[in-house]
Structure 1
Amino acid sequence: MPPEHPADMPAQDLRRFRRKGRRRLVNPQSRSSFLKRFAVIGGTAALLAYAASEMYAVLALGDLTPIERVVLGLFIITFAWIALSSVASVFGFLKLVGRRFARPAPWSDEPLRKRTAMLMPTYNEDPSRIFAAIEAMARDVEALGQSHAFDWFVLADTTDPEVVLQEEAALLAARERIGGFTRVYYRRRRNNTAKKAGNVGDFCKRWASAYDHLLVLDADSLMEGRTIIELARRMEADPDAGLIQTIPTLVNGTTVMARLQQFAGRVYGPVVGTGLSWWVQKEGNFWGHNAIIRTEAFLNSAGLPELSGKPPFGGHIMSHDFVEAALIRRAGWNVIIADDLSGSYEESPPSLVDLAIRDRRWCQGNLQHLKVIGGRGLHWVSRSHILTGIMSYLASPLWLLLILSGLALTLQAHYIRPEYFKDEFQLFPSWPRIDAERALALFALTMGVLFLPKVLGLLAFFFNSRDRKAAGGFLGLILSFLFEVVVSALVAPIMMLIQTGAVTEIVLHRDAGWKPQRRDDGGLPLSDLFVRHRWHMLAGLALAWAAIADSWVLFAWLSPAILGMVFAVPISGLTGSNAVGRFVKWLGLLRIPEERQRPGIQGRMDEARPAYVEAVAATPSLVDIVADSDLLMQHLALVDRMAPRPPGRVDPVSALALAKIGEAETVEEGVSFLDAKERATLIATPRILDALAQKPLNRQVLAERTVAARSA
């Protein structure tokens, strides 16, 4: 690592904020437009009011029963959730279509004046993928003559000792391959306190002040050199910009689930993302990666507080990105979503199971925001982003409650004798009735609002002839659209139950922890799939039984949800299979332009990767490193410095590792005594490494015994 530049990054107080201390904009004209917000919020409110009045009219032909009141309340909440996205998508569609007739912004070859640290946090990821991506991006930047402005940092929180050694081998290969024109650094923390946020925070407190900007990546991120340079140039040109977020495109999907997500993101995503960017304006959001941040803004205003209480609601903030964006905006900096920038890529989970594992962590992090959303001084749009994150998981139990309430309403009408005279002095009976014709019209409206972003996204995609042809033309796109709608309809009830289960676990105070994400094969044995989805299948059977108990018509209405739940195991298995994914790709379904016209940055990464796969395969073992003084010195040069230890405070893992090594007779025996956690501590602790290096190797012991036997 380069020399440290220590800086303060104070934790922000969510209970107090001095508005007079907020930074003033250098350019007052960079404020957000009220009219754009009025158009979206006003349109959403009008649509919600109409839908709510129609639902009330459907239920209120007679007096509202308690169950009908529950149905009405749940409908209003869930409809509001989809209405905002739908209305914003209309404006996103108009902006995208208008952009087709606008001239592209001119490209500047002027050298960048300020320095940017490119941060790649990693946690037990494949080092060959990480360093191949860094090489591809670094070469892209070098080809544009801007390498002087960027340094690359791999910030490891890796706990697997084998992967740690592989990271070091890949780093040495990267320095050999690209060290002539750029700088690549590596730091691994001994303790991954506060997970990714703590990892980046540690860098900020020790090195960030030497740089003007931080461009944060993820382990699956990839960005074109032009996009990286344009982000830095926009940050230099706008003194009020605190954070600029790109909208990443999902790529490299091999399973049906991954391809489903990347098709939806590529076809519908631009309309949704552009619509969001259009109305939030300078109060945008941060999605944790593929974004550039002004170092001054981040250090002074984005230090995360520790929430009161224990996990899952208390402790370190897991979903840090939304909160950091809100704090940066609170301090007077603009947060911008660059919806016009392409060349930003990421990958998606390959299966339903992997999606569930990621969502469990995200769900806990987002529900922690219930303690953040009321923070003093936050902009109301920042609060809306936080509320969106919360609702993205609470929506599932709300949808489930709406389904169950509607089912209860139907069963009540079928099996429970209505009470016609509820009042002792009532002259006329209260007939429990529902306006069926109006209900059908409201259902059509709800489906229209739900599918409008998809339809607008497809239409906008049609207007781009190059992308349309690369994705299979009109017919191919329509078939892919229908396939995506059908599969998503089957997956949706499973995800509803998965997220409802995640919310329930969090309410019961069960912590999710932090597990590394699989990024390639999503396949699992059938027995594992059955264990993971058994309750979803039973829920589907119970729902089917309840529906049939009323009528086959109700069963038909609920059949999409019932089919998804009952067949959760085969749906999960098929959508997570690489073989099925290849077959769907061969059929031409869910094709995106990046599959036919592979971006150059992906090609450069593919070209670089075999060299890193080879370097990782040739990684010396821990025994080899300890036994070879040159390898040991090379490793120690990469070990992060240890923080001073207060007297009397002993790390139990280090003490146990040292004690085990003390009892070993050889290096091999000492390594064999240690578990994975102790080996990871050994790798990061020079004192313990030195103790192990004092032991003889087994072959030395054998040689000495042979010599002694011959002498005798």
Structure 2
Amino acid sequence: MDGDGVTAVLAERGADADAASPPLPDADETALHAEPVVPVRGMPPEVPSDMPIQSLWRFRRRNRRRFIDPRHSRSSFFRRISVLGGAFILAAIAVYEMEQVLEVGGLTPIEIAVLILFALNFGWIAMAFMSAIAGYGLVIGRIGRERRTPSGPLGARTAVLMPTYNEDPSRVFAGIEAMAEGLHALGQGPAFDWFVLADTTDPDVALAEEAAVVAIRARLAGKANVYYRRRRRNVSRKAGNVADFCMRWAGAYEHMLVLDADSLMAPETIVELARRMEEDPDAGLIQTIPALVNGTTILARLQQFAGRVYGPIVGAGLSFWTGSEGNYWGHNAIIRTRAFLEAAGLPDLPGRPPFGGHILSHDFVEAALLRRAGWTVRIADDLAGSYEESPPSIVDLAVRDRRWCQGNLQHLFVLPARGLHWVSRIHLLTGIGSYVASPLWLLLILAGLALSLQAHFIRPEYFTEDFQLFPTWPVIDAERALRLFALTLAILFAPKVMGLVAFLRDRDSRRSVGGFRTILSFLFEILVSALIAPIMMLVHTGAIVSILVGRDSGWKPQRRDDGGVPLRSLIIRHRWHVLMGLALLAASWLDSLVLVAWMSPAIIGLILAVPLSRITGSNRVGRAIKRIGLLRTPEEAAPPPIVEAAATLRPVYEAAVAERPSMADLVADPRWRALHLALVDRVPERPRGVVDSIEALAAAKISEADTATEAVAFMTEKERAMVLATPFLLVRLAELPAV
């Protein structure tokens, strides 16, 4: 294809959007042998919109919009005082009891440290306990209640966004087709357009995505519009990906439904979210609570079971007291486009990563900014039909949590922002606390161990400055300590017990899984979680230490299915965890066997970190646990229709992806090249004197090569990805002899 051909293709991409789905070859045809088709642009015409960057330090309260429906949009003060006040009173009682336990004979410095660390850790679980009580009441009250099913077409248009980063295209596009077909069957298809927003950097995955685009457009012709855009540069990661869409296309839509690469939503849930946005003029964002599905390993199914049994009361409790100041978790949520454009433009934090630069955990901050601007942010805890998947192994969980930990610690610099609602600040603190809790727990363990060793090995001080008949000796009230220990365990496990009771009281859920089997799964989950908890404690502590010394997390694609990791890699990753377990065992042994018994949950979990990680991340072991019925959930017993539909469609897209062209095919075949060029995002004008090093290197290697095959061999993965995203480079490559 010559330069004029490229110009024609690129010009065609600016034509009317209604021609989005001309006839294309069926997905099961071999793409390279299909009949030539008219190239179809990747995206509709742009509708440029302003998305001003928000200042964290300047905000005028008088500019905040006023609620149109204040009675509906204002949160209940009584709900907040009952949960937060109850948590404070409970924590105060426990801290007083701990002080009484330790102060017998006077507080030593180590006892003071133990008291402070206990207060911080107990306050955390007291908050979860009070919230769970509220959530339990809500969940029990809903059992048997019929959900509303309003009819009639939606009045507003919604863009469904699927950001993806080097993900398996068969998973992404199978999910999109399943959801789009479901909306079409409900007669609501015209209200939704689908956008795959790729930040993919692997050129082979990018070509696979394009093959999947061709397939899905053929299969959904006349039912749904599916668009595709791959960015040339991953500026600001996922937040930047969505912001790029907002500034260029979101102006044509009233709402955006943001999904993740592993997200699925029942069509009825999608419609209900859109309808709630239409009915509530003050709603800026409505967040669903996704249930976990498709877990195959023990770890994935453990999270799946916990989320299904305990998750509903946790989510309902959070929704109960946060009200209009809910939170956003980055996906499976619907957003009012106008609100997001006006209020959610993220600033970069001062300094360099890991604390500076673009905000990694953007979702919490976007929710806080929306609320600051006068829009409500709600958690739709009553809506079922929202699904996602979980990491399959401890290693994958650690990789994900390392990135999340860095993003949440960045919120330390967002907390003082002007104009934020105090509940939004609590959300930010909660995110920070979810990771800081691990080093606090570790310090509490070490302080308690030091207290025991002090009492055992250090002689009491007989001669102090003040006259006294007895020496200064670290003494505790043993009876009171046991009572406090029982109280702490009760508060810690009560949310799980309440979740189990609520689950068993739901007749449909209980029948689908079995009551006795659920109780066995409950005990199994507690046992395995207790063994994994100390490993994750050290993982999070190590993540915080690495962030404090200035290491950035980077951006790695998440594994979704296979949790297997080579034994050598597991030994390397868990070596410090095992050594820490041995050190705790040795220190406890020096004191007494009683202390070893008290410390055994942490000691056993750490010493067995390698086999635990291997077993819980094994698909084979996970399938064995599934066969005997442990950790079973209603969604596993009877998969939701949307989950089944996506699983059924996945082989179709695996076949389409298998027929994707290679880069050599793209260079040699004008048809594939025309299709590819029609999907390429527009290249912005380059300021004079500003040269992209990767683009320049790719151009130089193409100029130096004698054949296209040689040029491709010269290039790195990044350079090949740049050629795919730069039409004039691809044309120059195609002008070379093939071999």
TM-score bracket for this pair, using the shorter chain length: over 0.9
Deviation at 1:494, TM superposition (A): 0.3
1:216-252 deviation per Cα after TM superposition (whole angstroms, max 9, x unaligned): 0000000000000000000000000000000000000
Q: Equivalents in 1 of 2:238, 2:590: separation in Å? A: 50
1:13-34 deviation per Cα after TM superposition (whole angstroms, max 9, x unaligned): 1111100000100001020010
Residue 30 of structure 2 corresponds to none
1:580-637 deviation per Cα after TM superposition (whole angstroms, max 9, x unaligned): 0011111110000011111000111122111110110000111111111121111000
Q: 1:466 aligns with which of 508, 516, 519?
A: 508
Residue 534 of structure 1 corresponds to 575
Residue 679 of structure 2 corresponds to 638
Q: Equivalents in 2 of 1:181, 1:588: separation in Å? A: 40
SS at match of 1:191: coil
Q: Equivalents in 2 of 1:572, 1:420: separation in Å? A: 50
Q: Equivalents in 2 of 1:137, 1:695: separation in Å? A: 43
| 1:537-556 equivalences in 2 (<5 Å) | 537-556=578-597
What are structure 2's unaligned runs of at least 5 residues? 1-42
Q: Equivalents in 1 of 2:575, 2:119: separation in Å? A: 32
Deviation at 1:179, TM superposition (A): 2.3
SS at match of 2:379: strand
Q: Equivalents in 2 of 1:77, 1:16: separation in Å? A: 32
2:518 is the alignment partner of 1:477: yes
2:451 is the alignment partner of 1:406: no
2:639 is the alignment partner of 1:598: yes
Residue 43 of structure 1 corresponds to 86
Residue 435 of structure 2 corresponds to 393
| 1:276-425 equivalences in 2 (<5 Å) | 276-425=318-467
SS at match of 1:214: strand
Query: 1:12 touches 1:302 (CA, 8 Å); kept in 2?
Result: yes
SS at match of 1:184: strand
1:30-74 deviation per Cα after TM superposition (whole angstroms, max 9, x unaligned): 200100001001110110011000000000011111111110000
Deviation at 1:106, TM superposition (A): 2.7
When normalised by structure 2's length, the TM-score is 0.93
Q: 1:54 aligns with which of 90, 93, 97?
A: 97
Q: Which amino acid aligns with 1:666?
A: T
Residue 201 of structure 2 corresponds to 159
Q: Provide the identity percentage.
A: 64
Residue 156 of structure 2 corresponds to 114
Q: Equivalents in 2 of 1:267, 1:665: separation in Å? A: 63
SS at match of 1:573: helix
Deviation at 1:431, TM superposition (A): 4.2
Q: Which moved more, 1:92-101 or 1:594-603?
A: 92-101
2:679 is the alignment partner of 1:679: no
2:736 is the alignment partner of 1:695: yes
Query: 1:256 touches 1:577 (CA, 8 Å); kept in 2?
Result: yes
Deviation at 1:428, TM superposition (A): 5.7
- Select the structure with the greater relative contact order (CA < 8 A; seq sep ≥ 6): 2
Query: 2:455 touches 2:473 (CA, 8 Å); kept in 1?
Result: no
1:367-405 deviation per Cα after TM superposition (whole angstroms, max 9, x unaligned): 000000111110111000000000000000000000000
Residue 185 of structure 1 corresponds to 227
Q: Which amino acid aligns with 2:185?
A: A
What are structure 1's unaligned runs of at least 5 residues? 699-712
Residue 215 of structure 2 corresponds to 173
Q: Equivalents in 2 of 1:470, 1:548: separation in Å? A: 47
Q: 1:557 aligns with which of 584, 593, 598?
A: 598
Deviation at 1:105, TM superposition (A): 3.9
Deviation at 1:406, TM superposition (A): 0.3
1:487-544 deviation per Cα after TM superposition (whole angstroms, max 9, x unaligned): 0000000000000000000010100111000000100111110000000000000000
Q: Equivalents in 1 of 2:382, 2:265: separation in Å? A: 14
Q: Equivalents in 1 of 2:390, 2:245: separation in Å? A: 27
Query: 2:355 touches 2:409 (CA, 8 Å); kept in 1?
Result: yes
Residue 442 of structure 1 corresponds to 484
SS at match of 1:637: helix
Q: Which amino acid aligns with 2:83?
A: V
SS at match of 2:679: coil
Q: Equivalents in 2 of 1:400, 1:212: separation in Å? A: 48
Q: Which amino acid aligns with 1:560?
A: P
2:174 is the alignment partner of 1:132: yes
Deviation at 1:180, TM superposition (A): 1.7
When normalised by structure 1's length, the TM-score is 0.97
Residue 184 of structure 2 corresponds to 142
Q: Equivalents in 2 of 1:283, 1:612: separation in Å? A: 40
Residue 612 of structure 1 corresponds to 653
Residue 293 of structure 2 corresponds to 251
Q: Which amino acid aligns with 1:639?
A: V
Q: Equivalents in 2 of 1:477, 1:87: separation in Å? A: 24
SS at match of 1:120: strand
Deviation at 1:427, TM superposition (A): 5.9
Residue 26 of structure 2 corresponds to none
Q: Equivalents in 2 of 1:424, 1:349: separation in Å? A: 59
| 1:216-255 equivalences in 2 (<5 Å) | 216-255=258-297
Query: 2:135 touches 2:317 (CA, 8 Å); kept in 1?
Result: yes
Deviation at 1:422, TM superposition (A): 2.7
Q: Which amino acid aligns with 2:82?
A: A
Q: Equivalents in 1 of 2:442, 2:482: separation in Å? A: 20
Ranges of 4+ aligned residues in structure 1 off by more than 3 Å: 424-431
Q: Which amino acid aligns with 1:65?
A: T
Q: Equivalents in 2 of 1:175, 1:294: separation in Å? A: 27
Q: Equivalents in 2 of 1:41, 1:655: separation in Å? A: 58
Q: Which amino acid aligns with 2:508?
A: R
Residue 582 of structure 1 corresponds to 623
Q: Which amino acid aligns with 2:380?
A: A
SS at match of 2:551: coil
Q: Equivalents in 1 of 2:136, 2:639: separation in Å? A: 25
Q: Equivalents in 1 of 2:346, 2:460: separation in Å? A: 56
Q: Which amino acid aligns with 2:190?
A: H
Q: Equivalents in 2 of 1:418, 1:4: separation in Å? A: 78
Q: Which amino acid aligns with 2:525?
A: E
2:528 is the alignment partner of 1:487: yes
1:185-234 deviation per Cα after TM superposition (whole angstroms, max 9, x unaligned): 00000000100000000000100011000000000000000000000000
Q: Equivalents in 1 of 2:51, 2:121: separation in Å? A: 39
Query: 1:421 touches 1:428 (CA, 8 Å); kept in 2?
Result: no
Q: Which amino acid aligns with 2:674?
A: M
Query: 1:127 touches 1:166 (CA, 8 Å); kept in 2?
Result: yes
Q: Equivalents in 2 of 1:186, 1:346: separation in Å? A: 22
2:519 is the alignment partner of 1:515: no
Q: Equivalents in 1 of 2:60, 2:363: separation in Å? A: 23
Q: Which amino acid aligns with 1:359?
A: D
Q: Equivalents in 2 of 1:579, 1:631: separation in Å? A: 40
Residue 566 of structure 1 corresponds to 607
Q: Equivalents in 2 of 1:66, 1:626: separation in Å? A: 73
Q: 2:539 aligns with which of 493, 498, 501?
A: 498
Q: 1:98 aligns with which of 141, 159, 162?
A: 141
Residue 702 of structure 1 corresponds to none
2:247 is the alignment partner of 1:205: yes
Deviation at 1:348, TM superposition (A): 0.1
Residue 703 of structure 1 corresponds to none
Q: Equivalents in 1 of 2:370, 2:689: separation in Å? A: 39
Deviation at 1:654, TM superposition (A): 0.8
Q: Equivalents in 1 of 2:566, 2:161: separation in Å? A: 36
Q: 1:72 aligns with which of 97, 108, 115?
A: 115
SS at match of 1:215: strand
